[in-house]
A = this chain, B = another copy of it.
Amino acid sequence: MENYKEYENFCINISKIAGKYVLENFEGKFEIYSKDKRNNLVTEIDLNTQKIIVQNINKTYSNHAIVGEEDKLKSIKDSEYIWVIDPIDGTTNFVNGIPNFAISIALLKDLEPIAGSIWIPWPNNEKSLIFSASKNNGSNSNGIKLNLIEKLNESLDEGAASSYSSFSSINGNKDRNIKPWNKVIKGEKRVIGSVAYEMALLAKGVIKFGLFGPASIWDFGAGLLIIKEAGGTIHNLDKDYNFISEFTSFKKLIYKSNDSLSEVIYDWSGQFLIGNKKIMNLEDSEKFV
C-alpha cells in the first residue's frame, strides 16, 4: 500500500520553505499585476512562491503533473498524480496588508485528494500554522491532531456561552438569501477573503460552518481533505446551491472532455457547504434541496 503520509510530510516541508518566503515579503515592496478581471491580483511574490513549490515537486516527483493558480500553470504531463497549488490564496489581503492569506498544496490521485497542507500566518512563536492531512491518516495542525467531532462535543458541553459563538463564513459579495445558507445560518458572520485560510480555521473548529466558493481546485484541494480527515462534512453544491452529494473526490465533479485533463482541472470551479454535521443540522439532503 502506498505511503500517503510521505506525501503529507513533503507538503509540510515545502509549506515551511514557501511560508518563510511569503512572510518575509509581507508588508514589503513588490510588483503587483492585475490579471484578467477586477480584484484578481497577482504579485511577484505569488509567482516566485509558485516557482519554489513547483521546483520542489519536480525534483522529488518528476513524473507527477502540476496545476497551479498563477501563470496559467497547466501540466502537459499525463499522470494519475496531479498536484494542485495556490502559492498565495488571498492575494488581495496580502497586497493590502491584511495577515489573512494561505499557501495551499494538495496531491490528487485519480482526482481524489490524498495529501495536502495549508500554511497560514499566525501571531505565535513560529509566526505561522501548518495544517496537513493524508488520506485515512487524519489531520494535524503543527503536529497536533485535529478532531472536529470532539470539538463539537466540547462546544455543546460548555453550554450557552460558546453556542453563541459559532462562526459562519461566506463570500462577501454573495447574496445571503440562498437555499442551504438559510437553513444553517447561525452565529456571527465573518468575511475573511481567503478560502484556504477559512478552511484551515474550519478544520481547527474555529469557524463552525461555511459556504465556500465559487472557487478553483487549488483553493479547495488541501482544505477539503484536511476537513474530511478531521471529521467534518462536505456537501457538493451545484451552481444553484442544490445539494449534489457528500464530497469524496473531484472525479464526480470534473467532467471529462476532449481537452487535456489539466486544462479541464484548471478551468473548473465549484462550491461547497462545509462544517460539522451536528452544527449544520443537515443529516440528510432533503433538508436543504
Contacts and interface: CB of A to CB of B under 8 A. Distances in A.
A106 interface: no
A167 B90 CA distance: 13
Given A188-B92, A190-B192, A190-B193, A165 B41 contact: yes
A145 to B, nearest CB: 15
B123 A32 contact: no
A9 interface: no
A30 to B, nearest CB: 11
Q: How big is the A interface, by class? A: 35 or more
Contacts of A188: 39, 92, 172-173, 193
A124 interface: yes
A64 to B, nearest CB: 31
A167 B121 contact: no
Contacts of A21: none
Given A99-B122, A123-B23, A190-B98, A34 B161 contact: yes
A161 B41 contact: yes
Interface of A: 23, 26, 32-34, 38-39, 41, 92, 95-99, 121-125, 127-128, 158, 160-162, 164-165, 167, 172-173, 187-193, 201, 204-207
22 contacts: A32-B162, A34-B161, A39-B164, A39-B187, A41-B161, A41-B165, A92-B164, A95-B162, A96-B165, A96-B167, A97-B201, A97-B204, A98-B190, A98-B201, A98-B206, A122-B123, A123-B123, A172-B188, A173-B188, A189-B191, A191-B191, A192-B192
